[in-house]
Chain A
Amino acid sequence: MLNTLIDGLLRGNVYALGAVGISLVFGVMNVVNFAQFSFFGLGAMLAWFFVAQEGLPFWLALPLVLAICAALGLVINISVVRPLAKFLPLAAMLSTYAVSQILDNVSQIAFGAQFRVFPKVMPTSNLHIGNMRFGTSDVVMLAITAVVMVVMSLFLKFGKIGRAIRATAQDQEAALQMGIPVGQVQHVSFVIASTLGGLAGVFIALYVGVANPTSGLDIGLTAFVAATLGGLGSLVGGVIGGFVLGILEAFGIYFFGDTSREIIIFVILIVVLILRPGGLLGKVPLISTEPLTGTFLGKGRPLRIPRWVWPAAFVVGGIVIPLVANDYVLTTGTQVLIYAVIAAGFTVTAGQSGVLALGQAGPIAIGAYTSALVTMNLHFSFWAALPVAGLSAAIIASVLASPIWGVKGHYISIATLGLGIAIVAIIQLVEPQGIYNIPVPQWFGAVLSTPVAYYLIDFGVLVVTLLVMWRIRRSHLGKVISSVGSDEVAALASGVRGRNYKALAFAISAFFAGVGGSLLAHQYTYIDPTIFTMLMSLLVVTIVIMGGVSLPYGAVVGSIILIGAMELLRFTPELRIIVYGLVLILVVRFRPGGILVRNS
């Protein structure tokens, strides 16, 4: 019990460092910075590299790691975050998400993907008070954090730049008018946050004893929840939130086991967002009162598509390709088609209702598992399982997401991201082994398991999906959903309750995600929780943003480019993620409406 408390304090220590950085950057830039999440993983890997590989003494490696993180933070802010934050905070957030994926994968390429054993630099269980066991290492970490926090608060209270940071956080425009160099203040905040992130990463490695390049997102998300719990923008809140969350998590794991971790964190996030959106210490109307949902990307006019393109595309996609293409191209084609279905359905949420949901892997996984289970246990045919998978994804995802529609702006993206992770975590808890031998589709006794058959099934589903999306967009309902997306306040003033329609849009998107999941399950014939990753969610978002967030046919184009081209060019998985990330940043920066939308 007491050891669990120690465990919680040490976890909390890491989260507190991370949360303070997240709050700091959110305060001065109004951007949730995912890129910062990568510094947790990066700090750990760099420390491992210098200590274990290069044989540097730990106390020499530490400042070196921090310096690298600081410099990298500055580069990221100058090149990606700041140019976008001024105009489109949500676009900036999306870009930082891309940056974090790039950083994680560059780190994976540089250091290898495996878990590395971190050398023991200080004793870890040489001390005890009564039954509590701990080590010098733990004491040193807590002491460093304490010193850092004291220095930080003195700096913010009495330092000239510290005061400028607070002034900028409270009223950026007024700060500018006082002659405060807001740009430099943001750079300084970014550098501090990255350094704290790196420090937290080193602590993780020290505490857990292993380092892994992709651990950052997970810890970063937890640190973000800690920052939210304490009150986003409040530094004292970040520290308190970090320790409270660390202790809650340690006891949660003690009672419910390690696999419950993500679920605990997500539940805490949701409870905080509903009960006290300002956090324990934050004051509710934080900084920006502008509605951040809706029109998160630049506006523009879709390119004119000549009428003959539609039948031509139908003939090429449905007849020419199945006739002439070889199995390799057809198999790639099925992937393109399935993602096109998922992404076309997602345009209702991302494009029309303006909710940048970041966790579509969740409903995809629900669809895949439902389809596998009903065909295997209840002996449904594939054709019956397909809509059932969609419905179950829509219902389950909607029920789980129902608490989040009242929250705004960045929170809604983070909450959906957490939701996606939590869904996969629940599946992992219930069905950790994966499911084998999922039946392949049949048609009156004939087994449809050739690449051509899969291709044609997926093509048919895509055509139906696009027709449904086209009908929805033209319907009254579609227009109401679009009104919520383009101006939620105005929609509310016209009697439209935005949250209900956002939830409905999300349910529609979840339905098609579930259908896509079902198609995947029956073609892979094997599924397990590791398939439904954050990368899958990122891919769906990237596809719709590339094609044009509100254009269902744009999703098809995005899918062809991002999946078809990547596959045919035979990029390795790590390289692919880097390309996705770069594409996302470039599109958001230069063609914010998508490649099929002309800037206005």
Chain B
Amino acid sequence: MTDLLALDDVHVYYGPFHALRGNTLTVGEGEIVSLLGGNASGKSTTMKTILGLIKVKSGSVRFAGEDVTNASTRHRVKAGIASVPEARRVFPQMTVDENLLAGAYTRKDRVGIAEDLERMREHFPRLGERRRQEAGTLSGGEQQMLAFARALMSRPKLICMDEPTMGLAPKLVDQVLDEIVRINKDLGVAVLFVEQQAELALSIASRGYVLATGEIVLNGTSRELLDNPQIQEAYLGKATQA
């Protein structure tokens, strides 16, 4: 599998605060990778770094064979990185359709955009029903679907999702995870997502990275991580047998 996204020895600072400490991370084409870690471990910072919202101090970010370390967010979106921001952040006073069009902002092919709009309405029937409704009036689960669809409108190769299950009821969490798998399978889009619940995350991801205080302390396939006693202790609530 070739690497679609590759972070190599990335260091990021907030003023004097060393937020990412030499992290190396890859996502292959069509892969689902999860990013785990506690509060303030650097998960969101990693996502923002990939999207170009934060400047990298040293190290490199490559995407689809291109060095995008210093590229603008706009450039990265055009290259094929889409985002499902933390807490969804749909545009509340714009209609569902307008939100989807905002996702396609970087594209110029009118015909293709219209086709994709139609495809999203098929893929997410609820959004089709509510196309003229303001996004702020949708339920949390519907807003999450809209955030997915909006990201897909840029025809991405990779979607970065920052805690897509945040604030959703347990039943909806399962739906959202199913949806991630569906997007990945049906559309062949790679997914890198942040998730608090390690077991759930690893149930759909092929690989995972564990962050702690800005460093990647563990990585491996989902199976390896699930069997790792440290992970079991820290995230799965299973005490290690002494």
Decide if B105 touches A166 in the complex (CB within 8 Å).
no
Residue of B nearest to A160 (CB): B105
Cα–Cα, bound, A180→B98 (Å):
14
A446 contacts B by Cβ under 8 Å:
no
With A173-B85, A173-B89: A178-B94 Cβ-Cβ less than 8 Å = no
A179 contacts B by Cβ under 8 Å:
yes
Residue of A nearest to B91 (CB): A170
Write the nearest CB–CB distance from B80 to chain A, whole angstroms. 11
* A177 contact from B51, B92, B101, Cβ within 8 A: B51
Decide if A178 touches B53 in the complex (CB within 8 Å).
no
Decide if B53 touches A176 in the complex (CB within 8 Å).
yes
Cα–Cα, bound, A299→B106 (Å):
38
B154 contacts A by Cβ under 8 Å:
yes
B119 contacts A by Cβ under 8 Å:
no
B150 contacts A by Cβ under 8 Å:
yes
Cα–Cα, bound, A174→B105 (Å):
12
With A163-B102, A173-B85, A174-B85: A179-B154 Cβ-Cβ less than 8 Å = yes
How many A residues face the partner with a CB closer than 8 A?
17
Taking CB atoms, residues of chain A closer than 8 Å to B228 are none
Taking CB atoms, residues of chain B closer than 8 Å to A176 are 53, 73
Interface flags, B62-85, vs A, CB<8A=1, else 0: 000000000001101110000101
B42 contacts A by Cβ under 8 Å:
no
Most buried by B among A175, A176, A177, A283: A177
B103 contacts A by Cβ under 8 Å:
yes
Decide if A175 touches B53 in the complex (CB within 8 Å).
no
B93 contacts A by Cβ under 8 Å:
yes
Decide if A163 touches B94 in the complex (CB within 8 Å).
yes
Decide if A179 touches B92 in the complex (CB within 8 Å).
no
Decide if A179 touches B89 in the complex (CB within 8 Å).
no
Taking CB atoms, residues of chain A closer than 8 Å to B74 are 179-181
B: contact size bracket: 20 to 34
Query: Considering the complex, which residues of chain A in the window 155-209 have a beta carbon less than 8 Å from any beta carbon of chain B?
Result: 160, 163-164, 166-167, 170-171, 173-181
Write the nearest CB–CB distance from B143 to chain A, whole angstroms. 12
Decide if B94 touches A170 in the complex (CB within 8 Å).
yes
Cα–Cα, bound, A180→B89 (Å):
15
With A170-B92, A171-B91: A180-B85 Cβ-Cβ less than 8 Å = no
Query: Considering the complex, which residues of chain A in the window 136-164 have a beta carbon less than 8 Å from any beta carbon of chain B?
Result: 160, 163-164
| A-side interface mostly | helix
Most buried by B among A163, A164, A179, A181: A179
Cα–Cα, bound, A178→B53 (Å):
12
Write the nearest CB–CB distance from A598 to chain B, whole angstroms. 15
Query: Considering the complex, which residues of chain A in the window 410-424 have a beta carbon less than 8 Å from any beta carbon of chain B?
Result: none
Residue of B nearest to A184 (CB): B74
Decide if A163 touches B98 in the complex (CB within 8 Å).
yes
Query: Considering the complex, which residues of chain B in the window 136-158 have a beta carbon less than 8 Å from any beta carbon of chain A?
Result: 150, 154
Decide if B106 touches A167 in the complex (CB within 8 Å).
no
Decide if A167 touches B94 in the complex (CB within 8 Å).
yes
Please list the residues of chain B having a beta carbon within 8 angstroms of any beta carbon in chain A.
51, 53, 73-74, 76-78, 83, 85, 89-94, 98, 101-103, 105-106, 150, 154
Given contacts A163-B101, A173-B89, A175-B91, 19 further A-B contacts (CB under 8 A): A160-B105, A164-B102, A164-B105, A166-B93, A166-B98, A167-B94, A170-B92, A170-B93, A171-B89, A171-B91, A171-B92, A174-B85, A176-B73, A177-B51, A177-B77, A178-B83, A178-B103, A179-B76, A180-B102
**Which 5 pairs across A and B sit closest by C-beta, in order of nearness?**
A179-B77, A174-B89, A179-B106, A177-B83, A170-B91
> Can you give 28 contacting A-B residue pairs, CB < 8 Å?
A160-B105, A163-B94, A163-B101, A166-B93, A166-B94, A166-B98, A167-B91, A167-B98, A170-B93, A171-B89, A171-B90, A171-B91, A173-B53, A173-B89, A174-B85, A175-B102, A176-B53, A177-B51, A177-B83, A177-B85, A178-B83, A178-B103, A178-B106, A179-B73, A179-B74, A179-B76, A179-B78, A179-B106
